[in-house]
Structure 1
Amino acid sequence: MKSNILKLALVAVVLFSSQHIISQEFRGLDKSPMDAAAFPSDYRVADKLVKITYSRPQLNDRLISDLAPNGKVWRTGANEACEITFYVDMKLGSSTVKAGTYTFYTIPGEKEWTAIINKDLNVWGSYFYDESKDVARLSVPVSNSDEALDAFSMVFSEADNGVTLHIGWGTMRLAVPFKK
């Protein structure tokens, strides 16, 4: 009799435990999915120079200036602040950036944007941006393209003694140079 009660109790525990596992809810896809760009971009090449991880907001008939206001520090994407990893020492303008992982912020403007490398990591947005933790800054001119991109996008290309980070959104384009 006692063994039957123990068996029933064990069955009840298993059923209730499995019900909890079966009822687990998973979130849907983010509205601004996470993406990454690296150089070299070929996944068969293990030795990277740089990699950037960011989320890709969509314009959806909105203005860039509504999502990334001119003159205000921006997380450079959506959700968490964008993070950039250098696998070798690089230069942004005249400032040397040691190999490592940093936050990549920008300050949008009509004619130029400021690219910022900052020591903070694992931060949400730019709400707690601390200028005293900046490692490097560079003003980069804005150009325009005939092709409009609804999704915020980044890609690297090879450049003389380094790489260029290309940023595009709507018809706005930036080219941020990094030198070895």
Structure 2
Amino acid sequence: MKNLILVASLLIGVSAFSQAKIDPTKLSYASVDVSPMDAVYFPLNATSAKTVADGAKVKVVYSRPQKKGRVVFGNLVKYGEIWRLGANENTEIKFYTPVKIGGKDIPAGTYSLFAVPNEKEWTIVLNSDIDKWGAYAYDKSKDVVRITVPVEKTSAPVEYLSISFVQTKSGADLYAGWDNTQVKFPIEFK
């Protein structure tokens, strides 16, 4: 009898809960992020529906901060300090197949992508620690590879941080540009 009363009470509670109406005028929506999240694949015509068999080799997910009239490098982004290479959560790069970066073999998988910008060169850092906010919890002991790349000037200022790829004979160069600065680093596909 106790079980029957318990089951009946449970059914009444579930029925009442499932019939509860949500007032759409009371919903709270997140405001628009000033540094929207974006993703870029290599090859550039790949999409999230593509698989390795369809040709997707690399995916980068990052947030795109704006210049908004500010001096970016050496000011907003400090020289000589670790940077998440974007805004909000740290930038992540996913390799669908093994690659080689800076002469080092990198297994397929997802990595955080950081940079240490300087005026004439940057250190690009692949780190095994993912799902972090910014570079606040950055742990150098989890670096997978570090490479130094030269800084190039853009032909015109880039308002939003942008990441793209250019195909090469052995893989692709990843380009990152913002303000009047861009860098690239080579990724070799195995």
TM range (shorter): 0.7 to 0.9
1:116: how far off?
Answer: 0.5
Q: Distance in 2 between matches of 1:134 and 1:43?
A: 28
Equivalence map 1:59-74=2 (5 Å): 59-64=67-72, 65-74=74-83
Tell me the amino acid that sits aligned with residue 66 of structure 1: N
Of residues 140, 154, 163, the one that matches 2:163 is: 154
Using the TM superposition, name which of 19-28 and 123-132 deviates more: 19-28
Percent of pairs identical after alignment?
37
1:19: how far off?
Answer: 4.2
1:104: how far off?
Answer: 0.4
Using the TM superposition, name which of 16-25 and 136-145 deviates more: 16-25
Aligned length: 168
Partner of 2:5: none
Partner of 1:176: 185
Of residues 80, 83, 90, the one that matches 1:81 is: 90
Q: Distance in 1 between matches of 2:168 and 2:76?
A: 30
Partner of 1:26: 29
Of residues 38, 52, 60, the one that matches 1:52 is: 60
Tell me the amino acid that sits aligned with residue 112 of structure 1: E
Of residues 141, 145, 148, the one that matches 1:132 is: 141
Deviations along 1:153-178, whole A, 9 cap, x unmatched? Answer: 00011112111001110110111111
Tell me the amino acid that sits aligned with residue 46 of structure 2: Y
Q: Secondary structure at the match of 2:21?
A: helix
Tell me the amino acid that sits aligned with residue 23 of structure 1: K
Q: Secondary structure at the match of 1:132?
A: helix
Q: Quick check: 1:102 aligned with 2:134?
A: no
Q: Distance in 2 between matches of 1:120 and 1:20?
A: 41
Q: State the superposition RMSD in angstroms.
A: 1.9
Q: Distance in 1 between matches of 2:129 and 2:22?
A: 42
Q: Secondary structure at the match of 1:71?
A: coil
